[in-house]
A and B are shown apart, each in its own frame.
Chain A
Amino acid sequence: MVTTAGALTDGSLSSIKGFLKTLSPVDQVGADARAAMLATRSIKTASKKWAIDMAISMIDLTTLEGADTDGKVKAICNKAIRPDPTDPTVPHVGAICVYNDMVTVARKHLDESGGQDIPVAAVSTAFPSGRASLEVKERDTKDAIANGATEIDMVIDRGAFLSGDLEKVFSEIVYIKSLCADKAHLKVILETGELVTYDNVRKASFLAMAAGADFIKTSTGKVAPAATAPVVLVMLEAVRDFYQMTGVRIGVKPAGGIRTTKDAIKQLVLVKETAGDEWLNPGLFRIGASALLNDLLMQRQKLTSGHYGGANYVTLD
């Protein structure tokens, strides 16, 4: 069955509910077991090197702190361009992710330092809670885009989702997407830790995709649990199924809790064996992280040098 995304639902509550009812349920224990089995894959030598470099290129290097300053943002921009100053073969990261009032300094600094290829993503729509009026969310998004963000990471209204106001959730995504138009791609953060059940994750994924998401993203990183393996599995199954239905590939971004090379490689295995090799590139898979980058670099160093490294051999930022 191939149909266009727009034909899946007209956005009214009854239509959305009807569409979501057609989705097959998720058995939690079975999904956990599948994710656990895929976590036993042993990725060594050449495949490990490939995976490390791919993971680096997929990182949305993130700083989302109240204490962020121009200095902090410039530092991570430098890190994004040149993760390892001693090794020019290390790829640059996938993007920078900041609050919308840091977009200007990030974009300017990247452009002046050789990072023109690196997009700036801004979190938006009253991130992380999403608890604000539509006007505030609109302003948040417009500011980010005007400042140079070419990626918008919005949050869905979880309160509306959990209380059944699916029309509100849907229409907000449609509206923010319209603001992005051709200037930015839209990632929709589901905040899976608050949705709790895998059935909810599956339904929210489809709702977001039907409303126009370019990427579905697990979490804000401010709530635990964040990007657990079974949740990412369920979202990858959703984008795979959505592609079967519509011919359109939507991206997936896990964010939060992915700290080690092992974690990152497990994510890539999940992608390969669920959605498929076509998703294994930064255009369709990103990893929201900060500390992960240094662990990837240390593992990369070990592959070349043969011995274990230490924190002094990777830059702080």
Chain B
Amino acid sequence: MTFEYSSAPESRAIVTIDPVYKLFIGGKFVAPKAGKTFTTINPATEEVLAKIAYAEKSDVDKAVKAAQEGLKVWSKMAPSERGKYLYRIARIMQERAREFAVLETMDNGKPIRETRDVDIPLAAAHFFYHAGWADKLEHAGVGNNPKPYGVVGQIIPWNFPLLMLAWKIAPALATGNTVVLKPAETTPLTALLFAQVCQQAELPAGVVNIVTGDGATGAAIVNHPGISKIAFTGSTDVGKLIARSVAGTGKGLTLELGGKGANIVFEDAPLDETVEGIINGIFFNQGHVCCAGSRLLIQENIQDELLEKLKSRMSQIRLGDPLDKNTDIGAINSREQLEKITELALSGDAEGAERFSAACTIPAKGFWYPPTFFTGVTQAHRIAREEIFGPVLSVISFRTPQEAIEKANNTPFGLSAGVWTDKGSRILWTAKHLRAGVIWANTFNKFDPASPFGGYKESGWGREGGRHGLAAYLKGAK
């Protein structure tokens, strides 16, 4: 008999999901004017989790007015008092961490191990870190009299719902702004639980407002005259649309968009840790990561050996029920995303690349894609250029460090890259030549509130996190 792991489900009992959720405006939960709702489902089971209020233009307007009222209170407060509210929020998030983790897993489809060990702790840490900046802005190198924008509009994606909320709200509040935030259509629940945390922290009414909805709701935020700054994380196409929309309005804009990160492996890389880094780089979070290492650039003389190890390691990956503590890969977030991944992967087959997929038992319900890589990929393949946003890796080879740099940089994106080698000077040389905003050497997908994150080129404008990330929310700072 072999060692098979019995199912080890995390209990759902810790979370109470209401049948209907309203908008969070002016410190209260209020129904949308037209009373429309949409549903959010669990992508692993396709069960409906809840009905969510749909915010139309008039609701967004109400939220902006509430944020303006909130700003009157927020801006008069001593900065250290603003900081203490953020500390309270961080502590309550830590207290309710398990509840958040289970809810995030159910709404997003990602494994409980990731929400429990990565998403939620990082989100709380982001508030903790930024709480400490609230009363230290004059030291932050953003000018000697930095001023907030006022009311900021924030639109976040579905891949790390609570973490993206933290990346947006924490610095905005710490710098003295108030916010109107729209979570993604398929993942609103942890944002709405966060609204409860704001109430428990006694955050003044209107400082944080959560409006749920879809692209039209987002457009209403982007175009609202009462909002002086927009922060958006999502696809490059929508990012460009927003940039065009705000042109000429004087609104501040930061964007965190797509990527096609090159993970470069040199011959002297520490192989076992490199394999983990590759796996982590593209299969963590089902590949729904803007900074994923979605192109593996392997030095040709170790390609065969590394790919054998990769295949063997992929056979260990456990795909299945996201609430099972032993699951490594969860569900794809939506049917729509699954179709996109499938289509692009099929183009890989059609264009002559060779597919390898881990053998996984795919559950009957829900949206799933097995971890996959394609070899024989070259720069001209669609799967080498377009962001798949799924667990599909394109393997490209190189012969010299210079060639690796050229191939890595040969893309309109510039968000992230990885370098694997035992040689320090080569790490620094490669980092120097890569046109990417975040470079991981001998590691991958590491995030920290103190570490600035953002992209070159079409991966966006501005940075989030660290001292550099504060500039996004202060007028006059660059």
Task: Say how far B358's CB is from chain A's closest CB, in angstroms.
Answer: 14
Inter-subunit contact A47/B270 (CB<8 Å) = no
- The reply to whether the CB of A123 lies closer than 8 angstroms to some CB of chain B is no
- The interface-forming segment of A48-56, A63-71, A134-142, A167-175 is A48-56
Asked if A40 lies at the interface with its beta carbon under 8 angstroms from chain B, I say yes
Q: Select one of A24, A25, A33, A277 contacting B2, CB under 8 A.
A: A277
- Is there an interface contact between A40 and B272, defined as CB atoms closer than 8 Å? no
| Bound Cα distance from A45 to B277, whole angstroms | 32
Contact A50–B5 (Cβ < 8 Å): no
Q: Is B46 an interface residue (CB 8 A)?
A: no
A30-46 with Cβ < 8 A to chain B: 30-31, 33-34, 40-46
Does B14 belong to the interface (CB within 8 Å)?
no
Contact A47 B3, beta carbon cutoff 8 Å: yes
Verify if B223 is at the interface (C-beta below 8 Å from A): no
Closest A residue by C-beta to B117: A40
Q: Which of B5, B272, B273, B276 contacts A41 (CB 8 A)?
A: B5
The 8 A CB mask of A272-298 against B (1 = contact, 0 = none) is 110001001000000000000000000
Given contacts A40-B117, A42-B325, contact A26 B273 (CB under 8 A): yes
Question: Of the candidates B6, B274, B325, B443, which one forms a contact with A47 in the assembled complex, judged by CB atoms under 8 Å apart?
Answer: B6
The reply to whether A268 and B276 contact each other, CB–CB distance below 8 Å, is: no
Find chain A residues with CB under 8 A from B442 CB. 27, 29-30
Is A194 part of the contact surface with B, judged by Cβ < 8 Å? no
Chain B residues whose CB sits within 8 angstroms of the CB of A272 once the complex forms:
3
A23 to chain B, nearest CB (A): 9
Give the residues from 217 to 258 in chain A that come closer than 8 angstroms, CB to CB, to chain B: 237
Query: Which residues does chain B contribute within 8 Å of A33, judged by CB atoms?
Result: 276
Q: Could you say which residues of chain B place their CB within 8 Å of the CB of A47?
A: 3-6
Taking chain A's interface residues, is the majority helix, strand, or loop, or is none over half, making it mixed? helix
Q: In the complex, which residue of chain A has the Cβ closest to the Cβ of B8?
A: A42
Residues of B within 8 A of A44 (CB): 6-8
In the bound complex, CA of A48 to CA of B422 (Å): 39
CB distance from B292 to the nearest CB of A (A): 18
For B274, list chain A residues within 8 Å (CB).
30
With A40-B325, A42-B326 as contacts: A30 and B5 at CB distance below 8 Å: no
Which residue of chain A has the shortest Cβ distance to B306 in the bound complex?
A: A24
Question: In the complex, what's the smallest C-beta–C-beta distance from B370 to chain A, in angstroms?
Answer: 18
Q: Which residues on the B side are within 8 Å of A280 (C-beta)?
A: 2-3
Residue in A closest to B423 when the chains form the complex, CB atoms: A25
- In the bound complex, CA of A277 to CA of B4 (Å): 10
Question: Which chain A residues (14-30) contact chain B, with CB distance < 8 Å?
Answer: 24-27, 29-30
Q: Once the chains bind, are A30 and B422 in contact (CB under 8 Å)?
A: no
Contact between B3 and A51 (Cβ–Cβ < 8 Å)?
yes
Smallest CB gap from B273: residue in A? A30
Check: B316 CB closer than 8 A to any chain A CB.
yes
Categorize the interface residue count of chain B. 20 to 34
CB contact under 8 A between A50 and B270, given known A30-B277, A40-B113: no
B268 within 8 A of A: yes
Whether the pair A26, B272 counts as a contact (CB closer than 8 A) is: yes
The docked-state distance in angstroms from the alpha carbon of A282 to that of B59 is: 67
B107 CB to nearest A CB, Å: 22
A29 to B270, CA, bound (A): 11
Write the nearest CB–CB distance from B18 to chain A, whole angstroms.
Answer: 29
Contact residues, B266-280 vs A (CB, 8 A)? 268-274, 276-277
Contact across chains for B443 and A43 when beta carbons are under 8 A apart: no
Give bound CA distance, A27 to B443, whole Å.
Answer: 9
Distance in angstroms from B301 CB to nearest chain A CB is: 13
Q: In the complex, which residues 157-212 of chain A have their Cβ closer than 8 Å to any Cβ of chain B?
A: none
- List, in ascending order, chain A residues with CB within 8 A of B270's CB: 24-27, 30
Q: Is B1 an interface residue (CB 8 A)?
A: yes
- Considering the complex, give the chain B residue whose CB is closest to the CB of A32: B273
Of listed A31, A44, A51, A280, residue having the most chain B CB within 10 A: A44
Complex Cα distance A42/B326, Å? 6
Task: Please determine whether A24 and B272 come into contact, CB atoms closer than 8 angstroms.
Answer: yes
Q: Is the CB of B3 within 8 A of A277?
A: yes
CA distance A24 to B302 in the complex (A): 11
CB-based contact B316/A273 at 8 Å: yes
A46 partner residues in chain B, CB cutoff 8 A: 6
> What are the residues of chain B within 8 A of A31 when measuring CB–CB?
272-273
Q: Assuming the A-B contacts A25-B270, A27-B270, A43-B8, are A54 and B325 also in contact, with contact meaning beta carbons closer than 8 angstroms in the complex?
A: no
Measured CB to CB, the nearest residue on chain A to B267 is A24
Residues of A within 8 Å of B117, CB to CB, are 40
- Given A30-B277, A273-B316, A268:B272 Cβ within 8 A: no
C-alpha gap A41/B385 in the complex (Å): 36
Q: What chain A residues lie within 8 Å of B268 (beta carbons)?
A: 24-25
A33–B325 alpha-carbon span in the complex (Å)? 17
A277 partner residues in chain B, CB cutoff 8 A: 2-3
Residues in B with CB closer than 8 Å to A40 are: 113, 117, 325
Q: A317 → chain B, closest Cβ, in Å?
A: 29
CA–CA, A44 and B268, complex, Å: 40
Closest Cβ of chain B: how far from A120's Cβ, in Å?
28
Q: Are A30 and B276 in contact (CB-based, < 8 A)? A: yes
Contact with A along B157-184 (1 / 0, CB 8 A): 0000000000000000000000000000
CB-based nearest B residue for A47: B6
Most-contacted residue by chain B among A42, A45, A47 (CB, 10 A)? A42
Q: Which residue of chain B has the shortest Cβ distance to A278 in the bound complex?
A: B2
Please name all residues of chain B whose beta carbon is closer than 8 Å to the beta carbon of A48 when the two chains form the complex: 6
Closest chain B residue, CB of each to CB of A46: B6
Q: Which of B3, B4, B7, B276 has the most CB of A within 10 A?
A: B3
Given A34-B276, A51-B3, A280-B3, A29:B443 Cβ within 8 A: yes
Chain B 61-104, CB-CB to A under 8 Å as 1, else 0, gives 00000000000000000000000000000000000000000000
Task: Give chain A nearest CB distance to B303 CB in angstroms.
Answer: 14
Chain B residues near A25 (CB-CB < 8 A):
268, 270, 422
B271 contacts across to A, CB distance below 8 A:
24
Residues of B within 8 A of A27 (CB): 270, 273, 442
Chain B hits for A273, CB < 8 A: 316
The residue on B at minimum CB distance from A26 is B270
Could you give, for residues 226-255 of chain B, a 1 whenever the CB lies within 8 Å of some chain A CB and a 0 otherwise?
000000000000000000000000000000
Q: How far is the CB of A11 from chain B (nearest CB, A)?
A: 26
Q: Across the interface, which residues of A come within 8 angstroms of B325, CB to CB?
A: 40-42
Question: What are 11 of the A-B contact pairs (CB < 8 Å)?
Answer: A24-B269, A25-B268, A25-B270, A29-B442, A30-B270, A30-B276, A34-B276, A41-B325, A42-B325, A44-B8, A273-B316
Other CB < 8 Å A-B pairs besides A41-B325, A43-B8, A54-B3, 9 of them? A26-B273, A42-B8, A42-B325, A46-B6, A47-B3, A47-B6, A48-B6, A272-B3, A277-B3
4 A-B pairs closest in CB distance: A30-B273, A42-B8, A42-B325, A27-B273
